[in-house]
Amino acid sequence: MATKASRSAARIMMAPAVVLLLGWMLVPLIMTLYFSFKRYLPLRGDSLDRGLDWVGFDNYVRFISSSSFWPSVQTTLVMVGGVLIITVVLGILLAMLLDQPFFGQGVVRILVIAPFFVMPTVSALVWKNMMMDPVNGVLSHLWRFFGAEPVSWLSDVPLGSIVLIVSWQWLPFATLILLTAIQSLDSEQLEAAEMDGAPPLRRFWHIVLPHLSRAITIVILIQTIFLLSIFAEIFVTTGGAFGTRTLTYLIFQRVIDSQNIGLGSAGGVYAIILANIVAIFLMRIVGKNLDK
Amino acid sequence: MARAISPRRKLITTAAAWTIALIIFFPIFWTILTSFKTEAQAINDPPLFFNFDWTLENYSVVQERSDYMRFLWNSVIIAGGSTLLGILIAVPAAWSMAFVPSRRTKDILLWMLSTKMLPAVGVLYPISLLFVEFNLLDTRIGLVVVLMLINLPIIVWMLYTYFREIPGEILEAARMDGATLKEEILYVLTPMAIPGIASTVLLNFILAWNEAFWTLNLTAANAAPLTAFIASYSSPEGLFFAKLSAASTMAIAPILILGWFSQKQLVRGLTFGAVK
């Protein structure tokens, strides 16, 4: 079917997208790599016009040996891991609940999915003020109602608070994808197991969970990629203070606040490598799916 | 096929599902509700639910004080412009990959996806430098281009999965009936492709609307969209709950409505066709 003419036409049709993305990927990447080997402090008079000093792997070594590096890695892991555990576990439970027949399914679905459409700056600020404010927040009212001392969330449990906010944003995503996967489960298989007297927990463990494993993997991989670059939620709540500085935020501060471009670029290269390790796994799964 | 469900079980499920849904939705509900209160009512103890004097004052104050419409307009231009530009570039690409696949099609698709994985912060400085160089800092056109580029892989992917579902036999049938290539594209393929294109437009408009790294870092006064407008509320001044609520409600309302229409396409678009 595909003739030579249509092949070359196809190539021309693809060209703009490919060229643009190639440029978008390579140009900044090469610049970041270049800066990462240079001493570049614009505030101390370094400028591109006069040329930058080559410092070898100095920036890479300094980025890793700085006292804020390991805490930021730890914060990143806690944040990404915490959100993943919360969203996947609650997502599975919620998806199984929503898969049951009940009244008002359409409306419930709409309510559950809504947080995903709220822009990150809004959800962070709404939670910070309307929910978590130590005096006037809804949670403080709730705490007082039950006779407990209100918590000042963002200064007492800052990391936990951000995990809560981000989980609220991503739970709909996990739920929706897991629900889609559950709905494709063959109900006859479950019925057969039920008739054979398998208790609910065993049915879940041996039939539902294996069926969901692929969807769970995809949820974890996609969320990890987005969660590694969480920015706005930290920017408008704690600004990276109180131990909420992730790797992404540390790099942001190096580049923007301290204007140490070389050091920040070396950090950027680490972040790119980290994201690529996750991406490789995601690509494998998506790629396999393409062959079908 | 369908099992008989006891009415009691259905009622229990209904209660549980609604309770959880209302808890999840509560912050949004509370924000919308608070936007109609006065500042004093907004921090009343105990919290007021419906027994207060509803007012629209916050909305007019937010518009007057910070010129909300300008940010809204920026959001519309940036999200709409980047989506349309992306579609223009992606349709031919996805089209040729779906209908004239070659051995490298799969690799190209996966490579495109991989550009999406590049952490933005890793290239923040180079991009700002290029923006300064080309006078794009704090311009809408600059953000249109950047958001188009970060969403282009998703647009190509979504369109590709939709186009691939158009059966090739229909094309052959049209050709047998003597349709020219132009007629084939205009009268046969386009009508079949429009639903897929529409869903892609919708989802990418939402993603661009909510993007909050580049919009915060590459804009100042002129081109700032709603994400940046809301971020300016992060340093509170006096009583501001009701105004924050009004501003937030205005920023999310358009997209909540669009989002509810797009929820079916969401799964496909965000999992790159891996979960359907």
Label each residue of A79-90 as H, E or C: HHHHHHHHHHHH
Q: Is the pLDDT of residue B1 over 60?
A: no
Q: Is the pLDDT of residue A2 over 70?
A: no
| Tokens of residue A246, six digits | 């992730």
Task: Please report the pLDDT score of residue A92 as a whole number.
Answer: 93
Average pLDDT, chain A: 86
Distance from CA of A38 to the nearest CA of B (A): 14
User: If you measure CA to CA, which chain A residue comes closest to B14?
Assistant: A102
Q: Is the pLDDT of residue A82 over 50?
A: yes
Burial of A197 (0-12, 13-18, 19+ CB in 10 A): exposed
Q: Is the pLDDT of residue B224 over 60?
A: yes
What percent of chain A has pLDDT above 70? Answer: 97
Average pLDDT, chain B: 84
pTM for the full predicted model: 0.86
Task: Please report the pLDDT score of residue B200 as a whole number.
Answer: 87
Mean pLDDT of B222-242: 79
CB atoms within 10 A of CB A44: 9
Instruction: Express each pLDDT in B157-202 by its tens digit.
Output: 888 888 888 887 777 787 788 777 777 777 877 788 888 888 889 8
Domain ranges of chain B: 68-226+251-270
Mean pLDDT of B203-228: 86
Residues of B in contact with A290 (CB under 8 A): 106, 109-110, 273
- Of residues B223 and B19, which shows the higher confidence score? B19
Asked if B151 and B263 touch (Cβ cutoff 8 Å), the reply is no
Range 19-48 of B in CB contact (< 8 A) with A: 20-22, 24-28, 30-31, 34, 42-43, 45-47
Of the ranges A28-32, A140-144, B260-264, the best mean pLDDT one? A28-32
Burial of A65 (0-12, 13-18, 19+ CB in 10 A): exposed
Q: Is the pLDDT of residue B81 over 90?
A: yes
Q: Is the pLDDT of residue B147 over 50?
A: yes
Strand spans (E) along B110-162: none
CA distances from B1 to A188, A200, B5, B6 (A): 8, 19, 12, 15
Distance from CA of B203 to the nearest CA of A (A): 10
Euclidean distance between CA atoms B182 and A274, whole angstroms = 47
Mean pLDDT of B258-270: 75
CB-based contact B102 A10, cutoff 8 Å: yes
Instruction: Express each pLDDT in B30-65 by its tens digit.
Output: 999 988 888 778 777 777 787 777 888 888 888 887
Q: Is the pLDDT of residue B79 over 70?
A: yes
Question: What superfamily would CATH give domain B68-226+251-270?
Answer: MetI-like (1.10.3720.10)
User: If you measure CA to CA, which chain A residue comes closest to B97?
Assistant: A10
Task: Please report the pLDDT score of residue B42 as a whole number.
Answer: 79
CB-based contact B123 A109, cutoff 8 Å: no
Confidence band for B238, pLDDT divided at 50, 70 and 90: low
CB-based contact B109 A35, cutoff 8 Å: no
Q: Is the pLDDT of residue A215 over 80?
A: yes
Q: Which of B243, B207, B251 is nearest to B225 (CA)?
A: B251
Mean pLDDT of B125-150: 88
Distance from CA of B168 to the nearest CA of A (A): 10
Mean pLDDT of A245-260: 87
- Interaxial angle between packed helices B124-133 and A4-36, expressed in degrees from 0 to 180 and rounded to the nearest 10: 100
B239 secondary structure, DSSP code? S
CB-based contact B152 A232, cutoff 8 Å: no
Residues of A in contact with B210 (CB under 8 A): 117-120
- Of residues A88 and B235, which shows the higher confidence score? A88
Distance from CA of B115 to the nearest CA of A (A): 6
Confidence band for B236, pLDDT divided at 50, 70 and 90: low
Task: Please report the pLDDT score of residue A3 as a whole number.
Answer: 64
Contacts of residue A30, defined as CB under 8 A and 6 or more positions apart, other chains included, come to none
User: If you measure CA to CA, which chain A residue comes closest to B32?
Assistant: A126
- Of residues B267 and A103, which shows the higher confidence score? A103
CB-based contact B275 A215, cutoff 8 Å: yes
Q: Is B96 on the interface with A (CB under 8 A)?
A: yes
Mean pLDDT of A141-164: 87
Euclidean distance between CA atoms A229 and B117, whole angstroms = 10
CA distances from B104 to A13, A83, B87, B109, B176 (A): 15, 37, 22, 9, 29
Euclidean distance between CA atoms B267 and B276, whole angstroms = 7
What structural domains and CATH numbers belong to chain A? 28-291 (1.10.3720.10)
Q: Is the pLDDT of residue B3 over 60?
A: no
Of the ranges A166-175, A177-186, B103-112, B207-216, the best mean pLDDT one? A166-175
What percent of chain A has pLDDT above 90? Answer: 23
> In the block, which residue shows the tokens 């969403």?
B151
- Which three-class secondary structure state does DSSP give residue A40? coil
CB-based contact A6 B217, cutoff 8 Å: no
Asked if B175 and B213 touch (Cβ cutoff 8 Å), the reply is no
Task: Please report the pLDDT score of residue B274 as a whole number.
Answer: 67
Euclidean distance between CA atoms A65 and A49, whole angstroms = 30
- Which of A100, A119, A269 lies nearest to residue B210, judging by beta carbons? A119
